[in-house]
């Protein structure tokens, strides 16, 4: 019989009668350590202070964050240890609510009304489940994928039929994350031989995508959507595949379908807004930005980009009422994001456009002065914003500053074809007929090829340290260039393998791997290095 005497439980429910009712159910299993929270704020504060074994959270929490937003934030801020069981409670069975409740993958979800036995059965099931997977989960949490894989293989070897499919799923995901597509395919195929399950088919599509086999991936994702239209991840993958093949209209349509089904997911609304913005589809952009702003109110993913994006759409329109609306949004943005350099830059950039349109040169000049002042102290800004600012520099005849920004952007994002095209197009428009951007682009590409060739040659000649120095110099010049980062990590790994690991090298390679992750390089590309590194660390002593 389940006993909850030693379990720390957090009960999050805004309705006090319901809270009381659930507490009584938990008392039946001798629960003693129950902390109650009437809203998400109180709950998050409690989670900051201590770890809970079980969290029961109502989806609907009245004003403020919803249960889904709470789970999203807890995961984002790493407030949820792997040992914690998170159970989402929902009252409604409407599709959008259920899908929304599932977006951040709670361990379990329970529909009202339920009785004590139902609640306790679910808790017991999850306790057993957590216990079975704990070694794998702990290793994943510590980002030690090789160890997680070893634990997974050990469990698979035990030939427990009841757990096999779940283990294959976890094993395949782990294999993908270290770039071992053969094992991943093998695991998914074993599941599919048994039964055509949508998540396994999705996995096959993801592998095709990661191997740049986009047409197969698209075909597979489409099949999966037909088979399981409620599995929201598939839409995100299909969107990525369309973007990779420069079918931006199809990407936008796919996300449109997804937000129709599950309108509460903020990241998807934000992505849709930007796709629509790029396509010049103002009506869709407006709708998606508005939705993102609304969802962002209590979300950890709240972003000033949504406010500036919407304001930009309004500012574009000819109607004076729309201009007023844009100015109102800029004001709101400043209130919501005070002392936030990115928001201030976005606000000032928008103001320049509006003031110039109204022939108010003095106010526009003031806004430009503000931009110059802020950008001097804050270089690390999103690329779309930097491009906007470069454009403004050029507009004000501040060619040197504009060119400098453009040069940095091209250096950092030279391999992002979509973005580079945008940079070239807008540079030409802003600085009539000047070929500076195109020259830089050409030069950067040549330089990169040269550095890489030299690096490879030095490397082949066994001069690893010279190869490393060459790339490190390039890294300082183009800190956001994905190819340089990856090559640096690879060379350093070879070096470590050849001449042993030191604390200095270890910290350097970890810096590169972290940077690769923030640049959006997918895990499978860095996975091999991580695997090798983990194996070395476990067998070698650090010098």
Q: Which residues in this chain contact other proteins in the complex, by CB under 8 A? A: 15, 17-18, 21, 24, 60, 91-95, 97, 111-118, 120-121, 125, 161-162, 165, 194-199, 228-231
Task: Round to whole Å and give the CA distance between 106 and 85.
Answer: 8
* Complex with other proteins: residue 37 or 198, whichever CB lies closer: 198
Q: Which residues pair with 56 in a beta bridge?
A: 11, 87
- Number of residues that this document lists for the chain: 543
Contact between residue 406 and residue 436 where contact means Cβ atoms under 8 Å apart: yes
* Complex with other proteins: residue 119 or 347, whichever CB lies closer: 119
Give min distance, CB of 437 to other proteins, in A.
49
* Complex with other proteins: residue 92 or 246, whichever CB lies closer: 92
Task: Round to whole Å and give the CA distance between 438 and 428.
Answer: 9
* Complex with other proteins: residue 94 or 514, whichever CB lies closer: 94
* Complex with other proteins: residue 28 or 543, whichever CB lies closer: 28
Residue 186: other Cβ atoms inside 10 A = 14
Task: Round to whole Å and give the CA distance between 265 and 291.
Answer: 10
Contact between residue 184 and residue 205 where contact means Cβ atoms under 8 Å apart: no
* Complex with other proteins: residue 194 or 465, whichever CB lies closer: 194
Retrieve residue 249's tokens: 């209209």
Nearest residue to 510 (alpha-carbon basis) of 534, 535, 481, 479: 534
Contact between residue 442 and residue 409 where contact means Cβ atoms under 8 Å apart: no
Give min distance, CB of 246 to other proteins, in A.
31
Give min distance, CB of 24 to other proteins, in A.
7
CA distances (Å), origin 276, targets 99, 214, 297, 451: 24, 22, 22, 37
Give min distance, CB of 199 to other proteins, in A.
7
CA distances (Å), origin 505, targets 178, 383, 408, 499, 509: 21, 30, 27, 11, 6
Give min distance, CB of 128 to other proteins, in A.
11
Q: Give start and end residues of each alpha helix (H) in 110-160.
A: 116-141, 145-157
Contact between residue 274 and residue 309 where contact means Cβ atoms under 8 Å apart: yes
* Complex with other proteins: residue 227 or 366, whichever CB lies closer: 227
Give min distance, CB of 191 to other proteins, in A.
8
Give min distance, CB of 126 to other proteins, in A.
11
Retrieve residue 502's tokens: 């030191």
Give min distance, CB of 156 to other proteins, in A.
16
Edge-to-edge order in the sheet of strand 54-58: 33-37, 8-12, 54-58, 85-90, 108-111
Contact between residue 191 and residue 168 where contact means Cβ atoms under 8 Å apart: yes
Helix (H) or strand (E) holding 11: strand 8-12
Give min distance, CB of 203 to other proteins, in A.
13
* Complex with other proteins: residue 97 or 352, whichever CB lies closer: 97
Contact between residue 248 and residue 242 where contact means Cβ atoms under 8 Å apart: yes
Give min distance, CB of 350 to other proteins, in A.
35
* Complex with other proteins: residue 22 or 55, whichever CB lies closer: 22
Contact between residue 428 and residue 420 where contact means Cβ atoms under 8 Å apart: no
* Complex with other proteins: residue 109 or 337, whichever CB lies closer: 109
């Amino acid at each position: 019989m389940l006993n909850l005497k030693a379990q720390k439980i957090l009960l999050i429910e805004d309705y006090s009668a319901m809270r009381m009712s659930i507490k009584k159910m938990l008392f039946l299993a001798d629960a003693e350590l129950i902390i109650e929270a009437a809203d998400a704020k109180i709950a998050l504060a409690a989670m900051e202070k201590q770890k809970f074994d079980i969290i029961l959270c109502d989806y609907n929490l009245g004003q403020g964050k919803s249960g889904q937003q709470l789970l999203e934030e807890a995961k984002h801020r790493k407030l949820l240890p792997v040992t914690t069981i998170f159970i989402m409670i929902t009252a409604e069975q409407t599709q959008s609510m259920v899908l929304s409740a599932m977006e951040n993958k709670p361990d379990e979800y329970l529909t009202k009304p339920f009785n004590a036995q139902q609640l306790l059965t679910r808790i017991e099931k999850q306790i057993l489940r957590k216990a079975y997977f704990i070694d794998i989960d702990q290793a994943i949490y510590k980002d030690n994928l090789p160890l997680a894989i070893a634990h997974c293989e050990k469990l698979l070897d035990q030939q427990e039929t009841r757990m096999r499919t779940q283990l294959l799923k976890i094993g395949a995901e782990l294999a993908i994350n270290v770039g071992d597509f053969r094992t991943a395919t093998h695991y998914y195929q074993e599941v599919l031989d048994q039964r055509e399950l949508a998540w396994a088919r999705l996995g096959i599509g993801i592998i095709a995508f990661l191997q740049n086999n986009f047409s197969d991936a698209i075909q597979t994702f489409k099949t999966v959507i037909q088979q399981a239209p409620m599995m929201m991840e598939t839409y995100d993958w299909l969107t990525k595949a369309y973007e990779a093949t420069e079918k931006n209209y199809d990407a936008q349509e796919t996300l449109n379908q997804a937000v129709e089904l599950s309108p509460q997911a903020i990241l998807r609304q934000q992505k849709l807004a930007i796709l629509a913005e790029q396509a010049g589809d103002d009506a869709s952009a407006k709708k998606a930005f508005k939705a993102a702003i609304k969802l962002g109110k209590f979300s950890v993913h709240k972003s000033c980009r949504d406010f500036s994006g919407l304001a930009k759409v309004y500012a574009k329109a000819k109607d004076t009422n729309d201009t007023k609306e844009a100015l109102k949004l800029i004001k709101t943005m400043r209130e919501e994001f005070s002392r936030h350099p990115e928001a201030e830059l976005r606000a000032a950039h928008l103001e320049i456009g509006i003031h110039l349109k109204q022939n108010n040169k003095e106010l526009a000049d003031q806004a430009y002065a503000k931009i110059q002042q802020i950008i001097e102290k804050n270089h690390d800004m999103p690329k779309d914003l930097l491009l906007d600012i470069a454009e403004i520099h050029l507009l004000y005849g501040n060619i040197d500053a504009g060119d400098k920004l453009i040069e940095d952007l091209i250096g950092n994002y030279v391999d992002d074809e979509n973005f580079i095209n945008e940079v070239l197009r807008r540079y030409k428009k802003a600085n009539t007929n000047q070929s500076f951007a195109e020259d830089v682009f050409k030069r950067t590409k040549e330089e990169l090829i040269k550095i890489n060739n030299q690096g490879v040659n030095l490397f082949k000649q066994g001069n690893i340290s010279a190869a490393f120095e060459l790339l490190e110099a390039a890294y300082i010049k183009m800190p956001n260039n994905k190819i340089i980062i990856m090559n640096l990590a690879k060379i350093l790994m070879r070096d470590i393998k050849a001449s042993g690991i030191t604390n200095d090298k270890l910290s350097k390679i970890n810096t590169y791997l972290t940077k690769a992750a923030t640049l959006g390089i997918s895990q499978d590309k860095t996975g091999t290095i991580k695997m090798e590194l983990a194996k070395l660390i476990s067998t070698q002593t650090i010098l």
